[in-house]
Amino acid sequence: MAHLLITGGAGFIGSHCCVALLEAGHGLVVLDNFDNSSPEALRRVAELGGLQGEARGPWRDGHGAVRLQLVEGDVRCADDLDAAFTTSPEGIGAVVHCAGLKAVGESVAEPLRYWDTNLGGSLRLLEAMRRHGCRTIVFSSSATLYGYPDTVPIPETAPIQPINPYGHSKAAVEQVLADVAASEAGWRIARLRYFNPVGSHPSGRIGEDPEGIPNNLFPYLSQVAVGRRQALHIFGSDWPTPDGTGVRDYIHVMDLADGHRAALDTLLREEPQLLTVNLGSGQGHSVLDVVHAFEAACGHRLPYELVDRRPGDAATTVADPGLASARLDWRTRRSLADICRDGWAWQSANPRGYGP
Ligand code: NAD
Ligand code: UFG
């Protein structure tokens, strides 16, 4: 058991990681400014972990031990980081760094905001780690680094060639982490390159709750299924793929969360190192595959229209998951049908997300 700091722990991926890491027995401190999330997500994480507490914590287990704490603050702020590192008497043994901004289109319109939060926030966090003697970090990186991939399935050795400011900011943080690892002995760093995380915890209590019109396929389709949107627009039906629609490697968010647990276990068990691994299933599914799987889960037809390609999209991105299997002893266990069943459990029980 370790005491962990989860930045962005109230977000989509962070909240699911919290559930998996609580289950693994860790004590958690979450630092989040709720820029793109709700405190209600953490309250439900506590509930799923069988913990008791006030609306904003701290949350205790049946023996009275504090297992989950919230520090409401900004990862770019040294004082907020110091509060997060000192709130637990045991200190912080490792960090899972999920806080960040992630909308590709928004990053094109507001590059400075993206660089400030994604790179600036990571720099401030690494400085705080040095101040507090913590040298272990798992970083939320992204398959977006590979841009238009030259080879599919994509190995970790593929060229880093991001095509938008969001991707550039992730590539920059990866470089900073490599430089930090090379500068001083003792760092244990995992750079986890997520493919397409979707779905929700099987309870349907926590899930993805995007603000405004969703940019991504799965939340958009979920909102069509629940009647919040009329029809899915499928971006391109003339891609060089089996059915002409784009192919992606969709990974159940609880498999992704297990990947974080596995990465932490590996880092804490082995010698200090810099680990870089894809988190994906190795299987590609087209947009139409996802539509049909979701129809099976929700029990009704989902209207869609075939429209033009979206600028910036690649035809196919699928992970080579071999290294994650070899180094982390981790692979995905949940299918596309599981993803849609659990995604529907969340969306149907929470048609307006965490909102009123
Ligand atoms: P999310 O927006 O749901 O979660 C991010 C969390 O970080 C939110 O709770 C937000 O409030 C918080 N946050 C943002 N700025 C902050 C700041 N300055 N200080 C403190 N907290 C802040 O996004 P997510 O989907 O959970 O993504 C988590 C991480 O994974 C991000 O770094 C993202 O870039 C990366 N990632 C996501 C995907 C994906 O498809 N969801 C894919 C690849 C990588
Ligand atoms: N798509 C549609 N209609 C929509 C939304 C998406 O047809 O309304 C299609 C896209 O064209 C693509 C597929 O569905 O073929 C998946 O698109 P998403 O937007 O869901 O996901 P992307 O693969 O484009 O990108 C996402 C994140 C990136 C991240 C990448 C890999 O947005 O930031 O996954 O993790 F880098």
Burial (Cβ within 10 Å: 0-12, 13-18, ≥19) of residue 216: middle
| Residue 174 CB less than 6 A away from ligand 1 | no
> What's the pLDDT score for residue 94?
98
Which two structure tokens, joined as six digits, stand for 266?
């590996």
> What's the pLDDT score for residue 121?
98
> What's the pLDDT score for residue 54?
92
Mean of per-residue pLDDT scores for the chain? 97
> What's the pLDDT score for residue 355?
87
Check if 166 is active-site: yes
| Residue 100 CB less than 6 A away from ligand 1 | yes
Domains of the chain, start order = 3-201+250-283+318-333 (3.40.50.720)
> What's the pLDDT score for residue 95?
98
* Average pLDDT over every residue of 304-331: 97
> What's the pLDDT score for residue 234?
98
Which protein residues touch ligand 2 with a CB less than 6 Å away?
Answer: 102, 104, 142-144, 194-196, 215-217, 220, 232-235, 246, 248, 287, 310, 313
Closest Cα partner for 33 from 15, 12, 57, 9? 9
In this predicted structure, the answer to whether residue 142 has a pLDDT above a threshold of 80 is yes
* Average pLDDT over every residue of 106-113: 96
> What's the pLDDT score for residue 2?
86
Does residue 294 contact residue 221 with C-beta atoms inside 8 Å? yes
User: What is the distance between the alpha carbons of residues 237 and 217, in angstroms, rounded to a whole number?
Assistant: 15
Closest Cα partner for 93 from 138, 123, 63, 62? 138
**Ligand 1 mean position, distance from CA 35 (Å):** 9
State percent of the chain over pLDDT 90. Answer: 98
Q: What phi-psi label fits residue 33: left (phi over 0), alpha (psi between -120 and 50 degrees) or beta? A: alpha
SS3 44: helix
> What's the pLDDT score for residue 112?
98
> What's the pLDDT score for residue 202?
98
The per-residue pLDDT for range 195-253, each reduced to its tens digit, is 999 999 999 999 999 999 999 999 999 999 999 999 999 999 999 999 999 999 999 99
Closest Cα partner for 114 from 101, 104, 126? 101
Q: Which atom of ligand 2 is nearest to the CA of 309?
A: 11
- Kindly identify the ligand whose nearest atom is closest to the C-alpha of 235: 2
| Residue 142 CB less than 6 A away from ligand 1 | yes
The per-residue pLDDT for range 255-311, each reduced to its tens digit, is 999 999 999 999 999 999 999 999 999 999 999 999 999 999 999 999 999 999 999
**Ligand 2 mean position, distance from CA 317 (Å):** 10
Burial (Cβ within 10 Å: 0-12, 13-18, ≥19) of residue 141: buried
SS3 15: helix
Does residue 250 contact residue 218 with C-beta atoms inside 8 Å? yes
Q: Which atom of ligand 2 is nearest to the CA of 317?
A: 23
User: pTM for the whole thing?
Assistant: 0.98
Helix (H) or strand (E) holding 59: strand 59-60
* Average pLDDT over every residue of 84-103: 96
